[in-house]
Structure 1
Amino acid sequence: MAEGTEMVNNSFENVTVDIAPYVLDLTNSFPIRYAVPLLGYFSPVLIFITLVTNTLVVIVLLKKNMRSPTNTILAGMALSDMFTGLFPLPVFLYFFGMDHYKEYIPYNWCYTYRFMSELIPTIFHTASIWLTMALAIQRYIYICHSFQARKWCTITNVLYGTLAIYIIAILSQISRFFDSFYIPVEIMSRMHENETMTACVQELRPWVQAHIDLYYNVYYWFRVICIHLIPCAFLVVLNALLISAMRTAQLRRMQLLKQNKKSESKKLKDSNCTTLMLVAVVGLFLLVELPLGIIMIVYLIDNTFELNIFSMADTYGIMNLISNFFILLSYPLNFFIYCGMSRQFRETFKRMFTGAPMPIDRDCSQYMTLPTENGKTALTADETAL
């Protein structure tokens, strides 16, 4: 079930022409033993929790007093993560939660199954990855190129950038909607003795069959390089730079305190609290995304050069299934990061239910104070970022 054979972003995917009706339970394969509890029982619970937490995150971040370029990206990430899990939920419940994985996939489910459990979630997950990279880039501009932030880091630019990210994510997946089709076939049921059913056989389009190796190599190497390798490497570097900038700001803050410049010192502290929280968000992303990227790279190298790195064919499927499950597990955790590291988020969240006005004193100021080359202080507006 590894990506490139059957599973992509919590979904199953066949990349070769099926010579038999489409069925998930292939001789009770080892990955299926893991897929049933993880996708049929645990994943729906996590998806429901993600739906609740990420909806709350979006509502809080889009409150008038919370709107900012940074929070707009965070809201976009929350929506992308939520829809990545929400679309395959009916498939998980029907096939793995209700044991229909033992039966051939009914013809009227074939397109729905592929679109909802594989293609559409992949689009949202791709958008989420690139939005996370955009978040780190924006924060880097705020911290290290503060005078450019007013020009480039605006809500309008964030909205245009988010739209561009989704268009590119759709285009990166668009060929998969048309590269195959399903043929209905009458066959004896695997679950009901002496009963027939209409199953489906997957066929590749002629233009794919004519260049099958080229097509799948281009598609999967593009995903590995542009959707996993480059963003993850970029985020590792940016996170390191942000941590270094935070240390520099902390030293600057100590100097300001010695000079009795408490106001500027507080602004530096506020800026660092926002940066630290975003570093934690990016760090969580890397913690769960890096293993999947490594699995994909090893799998593609293994298949391209026929190295047989793992003797068991199911090993990739098991690793990929578990890796995707941990990605799903990470989705609701951002809500708790925001609650734990941003007093403004907590206060806004509580006032959604109490109706009390926001206090004037907030833990993250409307302005971030940054050290410049000459040792003076530069202010850059991050509006009301967390």
Structure 2
Amino acid sequence: MEEAEMGLPPLIYDIPPVFNTSLARSLYGVAAPIIVILTFINNIMVVITMYSDLPKKGSASRIQHAAIACCNSLVGIVQLPVHFYLFAGPNFPPSISKPWCGVFRILGFVLPHIFHTISMWQFIGLSIQRYLVFRFPFSCVSWYNIENMTRLVKVISGAGVLVNIVKLFDFELIDFDESIVMNGTAYSVGKILTCRARYRFINGADVYAAFCDWFVALVVHIIPCAILVIVYVLLISAICRNNTRRQNLSKNSRTGRRQAKNQTVKECSVLVILTLCLLVEIPSATVRVRQIISAIPDVTSGGGDEIIITHFFLLLSYYFYVYIYLVMNHDFRKTFLSIVRKWRPIQQRDAIELRVRTRQV
């Protein structure tokens, strides 16, 4: 089955000698688990910070920021068993049992793909919403509220699950009963391969696979990237317009200039996150489309290094989101530091010092 487009890590059940196993083990067996765990911790702080300031004005967008943080964390968290079992183990590729074949496909491909799809469209919703708020701040008052943003997050999440849920049930696991040759490499039962997945239906399987390939390429890569590029240009225009207006209004006030600068930097944080997103999504889209056009069946059949690297940098990009918030969003940084101060342990006075003070009293 052609599953390289479904998620991470890019590993199919058959591993030919040309596959760069050392690169895959280094990135997915060592670096990726560390990045996933650190990203999960970072995003916990993002969600706590976003929701701790929820009642304040202008917090509707934080619903979407929190949803994106959750999806980005889940993309890596669901893959951790695959990272540890397949890539961090002593033998690579391991002798995969039949249950692990199903676990590998669901945790390694299907679920990450669902969460990545939701994250991409949540980000599109956030970008469009930010542009409308920046460009038409008075007109958006009627619809820009917590209830509508929560409803939007639920709709996007539900749609992302519905369009991909069939991938959880469209396959079955089969056992090989004789030696086989795949990708020019001979395998024997019980040595490298113990099972493999195939679609439940035979008639029309090629058409279904081609449809899935192009559907994923369009819905997860091409259309989202095109929309984000357009919104990126519009956001730059809106932020520049807002900055010019603020500077003119506060040119005679030092405090006003400082507040205007903080607000402009806060608006630019969306641009920085969008830039980071496009830097990893556009190469991934390019590689995926070229893979489909060139009829490369999976990552192990050629061009594997670039697919491994682009997928790894997708995981890595999620790690930096919290630091962009901290550096560029004054309100987020202020709320985050206040939470850290509350959690900071209070220094206890020395027992002798307390005794001396008691005697003095």
- The TM-score bracket by the shorter chain reads 0.7 to 0.9
**Match for residue 316 of structure 2?**
329
1:93 to 2:84 alignment: yes
The within-5 A match list for 1:137-286 is 137-184=128-175, 199-206=194-201, 209-258=202-251, 260=252, 268-286=260-278
The within-5 A match list for 1:73-92 is 73-92=64-83
3-state DSSP of counterpart to 1:182: strand
**Match for residue 288 of structure 1?**
280
Alignment match of 1:350 (pick from 334, 337, 353): 337
Report the Cα distance in structure 1 between the residues aligned to 2:55 and 2:307, rounded to whole angstroms: 37
The Cα shift of 1:215 comes to 0.9
Report the Cα distance in structure 2 between the residues aligned to 1:229 and 1:195, rounded to whole angstroms: 40
State whether residues 256 and 262 of structure 1, in contact with CA within 8 Å, keep that contact through their aligned partners in structure 2.
Answer: no
Q: Deviations over 1:48-78 (max 9, x none)?
A: 1111111111111110357611111111110
The within-5 A match list for 1:308-319 is 313-315=301-303, 317-319=304-306
Question: What is the number of equivalent residue pairs in this alignment?
Answer: 331
Report the Cα distance in structure 1 between the residues aligned to 2:166 and 2:190, rounded to whole angstroms: 36
What amino acid maps onto 2:100 in structure 1?
W
Alignment RMSD = 2.9
Report the Cα distance in structure 2 between the residues aligned to 1:94 and 1:103, rounded to whole angstroms: 8
Where does the alignment leave 5 or more consecutive residues of structure 1 unmatched?
A: 15-22, 189-193, 307-311, 357-386
State whether residues 7 and 110 of structure 2, in contact with CA within 8 Å, keep that contact through their aligned partners in structure 1.
Answer: no
What amino acid maps onto 1:200 in structure 2?
C
The within-5 A match list for 1:21-32 is 23-24=13-14, 26-32=15-21
Report the Cα distance in structure 1 between the residues aligned to 2:53 and 2:3, rounded to whole angstroms: 46
3-state DSSP of counterpart to 2:150: helix
The Cα shift of 1:228 comes to 1.2
State whether residues 5 and 213 of structure 2, in contact with CA within 8 Å, keep that contact through their aligned partners in structure 1.
Answer: no
State whether residues 60 and 348 of structure 1, in contact with CA within 8 Å, keep that contact through their aligned partners in structure 2.
Answer: yes
**Match for residue 41 of structure 1?**
30
Alignment match of 2:95 (pick from 98, 101, 104): 104
**Match for residue 291 of structure 2?**
299
State whether residues 187 and 199 of structure 1, in contact with CA within 8 Å, keep that contact through their aligned partners in structure 2.
Answer: no
Judged with a 3 Å threshold, the aligned counterparts in structure 2 of structure 1 residues 152 and 340 are, in CA distance, closer, same or farther, namely same
**TM-score, normalised by the number of residues in structure 2:** 0.83
The Cα shift of 1:238 comes to 1.1
What amino acid maps onto 2:148 in structure 1?
N
The Cα shift of 1:29 comes to 3.2
**Match for residue 56 of structure 1?**
45
State whether residues 82 and 108 of structure 2, in contact with CA within 8 Å, keep that contact through their aligned partners in structure 1.
Answer: yes
What amino acid maps onto 1:289 in structure 2?
E
Where does the alignment leave 5 or more consecutive residues of structure 2 unmatched?
A: 180-188, 344-361
Report the Cα distance in structure 2 between the residues aligned to 1:268 and 1:126, rounded to whole angstroms: 35
The Cα shift of 1:168 comes to 1.4
Q: Deviations over 1:155-203 (max 9, x none)?
A: 1111111111111111221221122101356899xxxxx9889932323
Judged with a 3 Å threshold, the aligned counterparts in structure 2 of structure 1 residues 123 and 5 are, in CA distance, closer, same or farther, namely closer
Judged with a 3 Å threshold, the aligned counterparts in structure 2 of structure 1 residues 333 and 277 are, in CA distance, closer, same or farther, namely same
Report the Cα distance in structure 2 between the residues aligned to 1:164 and 1:250, rounded to whole angstroms: 33
3-state DSSP of counterpart to 2:92: helix
Report the Cα distance in structure 1 between the residues aligned to 2:279 and 2:155, rounded to whole angstroms: 26
Report the Cα distance in structure 1 between the residues aligned to 2:149 and 2:167, rounded to whole angstroms: 28
Report the Cα distance in structure 2 between the residues aligned to 1:147 and 1:344, rounded to whole angstroms: 21
The Cα shift of 1:218 comes to 1.6
State whether residues 94 and 100 of structure 1, in contact with CA within 8 Å, keep that contact through their aligned partners in structure 2.
Answer: no
Judged with a 3 Å threshold, the aligned counterparts in structure 2 of structure 1 residues 116 and 195 are, in CA distance, closer, same or farther, namely closer
State whether residues 247 and 260 of structure 2, in contact with CA within 8 Å, keep that contact through their aligned partners in structure 1.
Answer: no
Task: Calculate percent identity across the aligned residue pairs.
Answer: 28
3-state DSSP of counterpart to 1:9: coil
